[in-house]
């Protein structure tokens, strides 16, 4: 088979949010997804989808041209979702994990695809009630998508550290900033992508996995970033779910700017599409630093092989991206990144609440409030 990358001449944006469905009384995860989907099917222009288990719903934006359109679309979709869930005794929240849910209680939404995932991955799939944000950015062709992907590998720790919101798992402090990432990396097609020098290399890899039955479609590659050739996008999947609307828009703007900045650098021959393999050798360690320590992690800089705190690396990156942010009219959203650098991501806030109250329920209540405040 030959796969064709659907060209996107402009860097469009699409956002997918995996939302927690919370029981209003217990603050545990609900099983309301099927009911919600049934009610949503009667509403026009409502972009929600089933996720693997009945405790979650995916909200999708329209295809957007800029951050203003993303904001408008997200607000609209979340408002519709809230109208549906309120009579069901369900509240909404966004974070990489629910702090005290028991994965053994989760039930899979019985679609053909989800049941197939459960049959194939068993225990791995049963644990997979985690919540992320996926951002699609339009790219002109497959060759350019692979070249941008190769460069973006170095910036995945920045995105993960800024969004880290899953320190708790099953009522236990994991010691990680993002336990969600540890769950995803347990899958054979999860985690960091392989290195491909060009689009043909990716085509060969993809066709091999399809031919051998290892995967059924691009959806079965759970990489932190993947080329989505049907949509003509790069899909950045590394981020934990972000509790506030402000943080969500900030990370979307950062990702948008990053892709456009790298693309522009390739156009102007300011960067090579062929990267040094040292970048890939260091990628697992750098990502681990973000997974474990968040913004306090110490990544290895490719240029000098010296350690730098992720917080400082983000500050340097923001300086580089400022001209791009101005051209994309998302300076205010990018400025919000500095607030995360100052106070820390959600993982920090959640631990502060638990240290003060000793209550995982209080963490959930705080996440619900954060999701409500700006939507």
69-128 pLDDT per residue, tens: 999 999 999 999 999 999 999 999 999 999 999 999 999 999 999 999 999 999 999 999
User: For residues 210 and 203, what is the distance between their CA atoms, to the nearest angstrom?
Assistant: 10
Positions of E strands within the chain = 13-23, 48-50, 56-60, 90-93, 132-138, 168-169, 172-173, 190-191, 222-223, 225-228, 233-240, 298-300, 307-309
- As a residue count, the chain comes to 375
Burial of 325 (0-12, 13-18, 19+ CB in 10 A): buried
Q: Give 317-333 pLDDT, tens digit per residue.
A: 999 999 999 999 999 99
Q: Give 40-73 pLDDT, tens digit per residue.
A: 888 877 889 999 999 999 999 999 999 999 999 9
Is 25 inside any structural domain? yes
328's CB contacts (< 8 A; 6+ apart) are 66, 67, 253, 256, 257, 260
For residue 219, give its domain range.
Answer: 13-373
Q: What's 300's domain CATH number? A: 3.30.590.20
For tokens 């400025």, what's the residue? 335
- What are the beta bridge partners of residue 59? 17, 48
Is 4 inside any structural domain? no
Average pLDDT, the chain: 95
pLDDT at 174: 99
**The two three-digit tokens of residue 314, written as one number:** 């983000």
Is 23 inside any structural domain? yes
Per-residue confidence band for 279, with pLDDT thresholds at 50, 70 and 90: confident
Is the pLDDT reported for residue 374 higher than 60?
Answer: no
Is 280 inside any structural domain? yes
pLDDT at 290: 99
pLDDT at 273: 67
Is 96 inside any structural domain? yes
Q: Give 236-262 pLDDT, tens digit per residue.
A: 999 999 999 999 999 999 999 999 999
Contact criterion met (CB below 8 Å) for 17 and 94:
yes
pLDDT at 360: 98
Percentage above 90 pLDDT, the chain: 91
68's CB contacts (< 8 A; 6+ apart) are 329
The mean per-residue pLDDT over the stretch 4-12 comes to: 95
pLDDT at 319: 97
pLDDT at 375: 47
| CA nearest neighbour of 138 among 228, 263, 11 | 11
Is 8 inside any structural domain? no
User: For residues 78 and 57, what is the distance between their CA atoms, to the nearest angstrom?
Assistant: 11
**The two three-digit tokens of residue 31, written as one number:** 């099983």
Domain count, the chain: 1
pLDDT at 276: 77
Q: Give 180-196 pLDDT, tens digit per residue.
A: 999 999 999 999 999 99
Cβ atoms within 10 A of the Cβ of 14, count?
22
Is 2 inside any structural domain? no
Is 1 inside any structural domain? no
């Amino acid at each position: 088979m030959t796969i064709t990358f659907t060209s996107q001449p402009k860097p469009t944006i699409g956002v997918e949010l995996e939302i927690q469905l919370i029981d209003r009384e217990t603050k545990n995860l609900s099983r309301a997804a099927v009911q919600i989907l049934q009610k949503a099917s009667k509403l026009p222009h409502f972009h929600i989808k089933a996720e693997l288990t009945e405790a979650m719903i995916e909200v999708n934006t329209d295809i957007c041209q800029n951050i203003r359109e993303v904001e408008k679309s997200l607000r609209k979709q979340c408002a519709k979702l809230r109208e549906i869930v309120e009579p069901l005794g369900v509240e909404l929240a966004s974070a990489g994990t629910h702090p005290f849910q028991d994965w053994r209680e989760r039930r899979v939404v019985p679609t053909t695809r989800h049941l197939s995932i459960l049959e194939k991955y068993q225990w791995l799939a049963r644990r997979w009630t985690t919540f992320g944000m996926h951002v699609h950015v339009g790219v002109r062709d497959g060759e350019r998508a692979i070249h941008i992907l190769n460069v973006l590998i170095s910036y995945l720790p920045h995105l993960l550290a800024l969004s880290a919101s899953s320190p708790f798992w099953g009522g236990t402090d994991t010691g990680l900033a993002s336990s969600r990432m540890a769950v995803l990396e347990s899958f054979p097609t999860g985690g960091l992508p392989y290195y491909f020098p060009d689009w043909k290399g990716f085509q060969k890899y993809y066709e091999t996995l399809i031919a051998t039955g290892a995967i059924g479609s691009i959806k079965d590659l759970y990489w932190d970033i993947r080329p989505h050739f049907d949509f003509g996008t790069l899909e950045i999947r590394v981020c934990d779910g972000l509790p506030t609307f402000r943080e969500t828009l900030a990370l979307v703007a950062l990702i948008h700017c990053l892709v456009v900045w790298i693309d522009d650098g390739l156009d102007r021959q300011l960067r090579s599409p062929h990267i040094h393999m040292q970048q890939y050798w260091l990628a697992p360690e750098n990502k681990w630093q973000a997974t474990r320590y968040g913004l306090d992690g110490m990544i290895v800089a490719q240029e000098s092989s010296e350690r730098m705190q992720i917080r400082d690396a983000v500050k340097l990156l923001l300086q580089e991206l400022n001209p791009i942010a101005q051209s994309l009219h998302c300076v205010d959203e990018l400025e919000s990144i500095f607030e995360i650098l100052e106070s820390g991501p959600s993982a920090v806030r959640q631990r502060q609440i638990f240290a003060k109250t000793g209550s995982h329920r209080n963490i959930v209540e705080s996440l619900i409030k954060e999701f409500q405040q700006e939507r």
